Amino acid sequence: ARLEMRRRCTWRIFQSIEYSCEQDQIKLHNFFSYLMDHFTPSSSKERDFISRMLTEEESYKDTELEKLCDYESVEVPDSYTGPHLSFPLLPDHATALLEAFKQKHQLHAHYVLKLLHETRRHLMQLPNINHVSTCYSEEITVCGKSGRDLPFVPFSLCGICLYFLFSYVFNGDFVDRGKQSVEILIILFAFLLVYPKEVHLNRGNHEDHMVNLRYGFTKEVMQKYKVHGKKILKMLQNVFCWLPLATLIDQKVLILHGGVSDMTDLELLAKIQRHKFVSVLRGKKRKEKSRRVDSKAINGESPVGVDPPRSSSFPGSCLQPGLASTASTASRTELSQWVRQTVQEELEKCRRQVGFCETPGDKELTCASSVTVTESELESCETSESSQEEWKQIVDILWSDPMPQEGCKMNTVRGGGCYFGPDVTEKILQKHSLQFLIRSHECKQEGYEFCHNRKVLTIFSASNYYEIGSNRGAYVKLGPDLIPHFVQYQANKTAHTLTMRQRISRVEESAFRALREKLFAHTSDLICAFKGYDQDETGTITLSDWATAVESVLHLGLPWRMLRPQLVRSTAGGLLEYKSWLDDLAVEQRSKEHIQSSLLETIYRNRSNLETIFRIIDSDHSGLISFEEFNQTWKLFSSHMNIELTDDGISDLARSIDFNKDGNIDFNEFLEAFRLIEHTHCDDKAAEMAVSGCPNS
């Protein structure tokens, strides 16, 4: 019983931290999107550059894509010893790839681009919802996330090579959070082309270039294909958006990555032009429309504040406020002030959501802003209702999770999609005459789990997802009777040698290490929260107050009182000396990196966001920020933070960050500059405190 309790607590830690990171990703993207939606470029060149940062071409003409792909221009040298591919692919090619990847060989960029080109051509012919029949295939195997286990892929696919009667459905999340995502994707695409009637791929929420920026796939591609990585990433973006959204077995079993909502409509899903949604995080399609302002606003009366529309699929998102336009030049100045104030208020909301703290002068700066709003700025983008509905349909099936309670509500834990209850599931099943749903999206300790009266089956195929021994992988086989038969496994040999106690201890240690890093990253906020309970300034608080304060800062929904013995080693009389406890956390992290504690806290808190920001600015995925990219991005920020810099000033700033003077800014230089800025900020604060006679706490 104690081991089971430890196992469950460990699991909650891992999941809470994982979902917290997904929230950060969505908030960060929304923040950049908001900046871009309210940025007025001074030239067409500037507009084109800024639009490339977070947006991609929704669709390419065949001629444009062939030029982009251009695999024929990528020569394969005679010295290349890896696998060779010729098209159309044959079974021997696919099995040769498996063997080559087992031997740590890499497929040449020429063959990767050609494979992606052929995969896209095949996917374009497929419907949004694939239909698979057990009459044609004696048995259908459904696999969940496989982005970590390369050994799993040949293990499950070997049946295709021997038995052509079997079909396979891979339910999304082929990439990210693993070191071999490229190889897994290549294997899946190769088998898809060799056996187009037997292999079926659904899109997951990680088949999205914006998600790839944060979770490692973009970085992996650029590391493995330094010369042609940019071409490969562009092709992958276009391939991902052509992946089918769902699969239907015998018209009775619906397979989709995330789940459903009370608005899910399979008929509408079947009609959506799925390739238009290159990134689901980008939100909806928009069209330019002029809107008339309320007569009160035109007549000079105080206009009612307009809140930005909120998406039930992305609860934390800051989408475009509906700005007004007017034909009256007399009231333009007044209206301009209202618009500017509304925009700045929403910008500050976004910045606070993302965690960008407001400096003491920010508020005055915002109020004193003298940005001129032109007539074109006052013409806003109004969301197309049909496109918005299509976008929401896709978001819900890729990001949603089931919940035990009835109803449908926003998924505030992940930051995207929704939570759907048993009643929502039953409604969908009855409406479309289905027996049950199969979905993935959530790691399960046994590799699978039923809920909603066994009407929803979660299947997760990546074993050891959080740590070696943390979970099994599983896939499910369905015959003509549609009765699920499960196969569970551990892809890591070490996991087989561990006892249950050893396995739980190992996973528990990893979970608490991650949690202590999370706590350390919020040291400053925790001190403020602890002081709120330490009114007498004794430096101690009760353990109950400690638990309440920690949750108020981290918002992880964890049972802190139960976790306290692993996090708080010593207490005196039931009281915790919180400063010494935080010092112990700092010592533990400093033992890994020799950095000043306050700087290290900032790095731990922001490194993931900083790396994502770096890759967003690095719009051509070169691994380097050019001075032009830096220049345009700085204009984007400064236009909303009322910081005026000349082009020469921005260039000087870029050169100061380019420590090795090679004309570009790499991530280490970017991170180092951030640390230096933080260091200067801390020194300035200390100096201010010293002048005012305040203790530097």
Dist. CA 52–CA 684, nearest whole Å: 37
Q: Is the dihedral of CA 262, 402, 383, 62 positive or negative?
A: negative
pLDDT for 376: 41
What H or E segment, with its residue span, contains residue 506? helix 500-521
Question: What three-state secondary structure class fits 41?
Answer: coil
pLDDT digits 0-9 by tens, 550-566: 999 998 989 998 898 88
122 is catalytic: no
CB neighbourhood size of 433 (10 A): 8
CA dist list (Å): 137 to 201, 477, 484: 16, 12, 15
Vertex 51, ends 45 and 53: CA angle to 5°? 110
At residue 466 the predicted structure's pLDDT band, cuts being 50, 70 and 90, is confident
> Which residue in the list 200, 206, 522, 640 is annotated as catalytic?
206
pLDDT for 367: 33
pLDDT digits 0-9 by tens, 76-135: 999 999 999 999 999 989 888 988 998 899 999 999 999 999 999 999 999 999 999 998
450 forms beta bridges with: 457
H helices present in 355-473, as ranges: 362-367, 385-399, 422-432
Contact between 318 and 349 (Cβ < 8 Å): yes
Q: State which amino acid sits at residue 423.
A: D
* Token representation of residue 563: 């976790």
Is the pLDDT at 480 greater than 80, yes or no?
A: yes
Q: Is the dihedral of CA 347, 352, 356, 361 positive or negative?
A: positive
Strand ranges inside 539-584, DSSP E = 540-542, 575-577
**CA nearest neighbour of 236 among 257, 217, 256, 214:** 217
Contact between 190 and 97 (Cβ < 8 Å): yes
More confident residue, 597 or 10: 10
Contact between 206 and 174 (Cβ < 8 Å): yes
Q: Within 13 A of 448's CA, how many CA atoms are on the CB side?
A: 20
Is the pLDDT at 574 greater than 90, yes or no?
A: no
Contact between 318 and 36 (Cβ < 8 Å): no
**CA nearest neighbour of 397 among 265, 259, 276, 266:** 259
pLDDT digits 0-9 by tens, 610-642: 666 777 777 666 777 887 777 777 766 666 555
Question: What three-state secondary structure class fits 418?
Answer: strand
Full DSSP string of 161-206? HH-TTEEEEEES--SSSSS-HHHHHHHHHHHHHHSTTTEEEE--TT
CA dist list (Å): 252 to 204, 246, 316, 433, 477: 21, 13, 35, 7, 15
pLDDT for 692: 45
pLDDT for 162: 44
pLDDT for 191: 93
Helical pair 91-102 and 181-194, crossing angle rounded to 10 deg: 170
More confident residue, 681 or 674: 674
420 forms beta bridges with: 402, 408
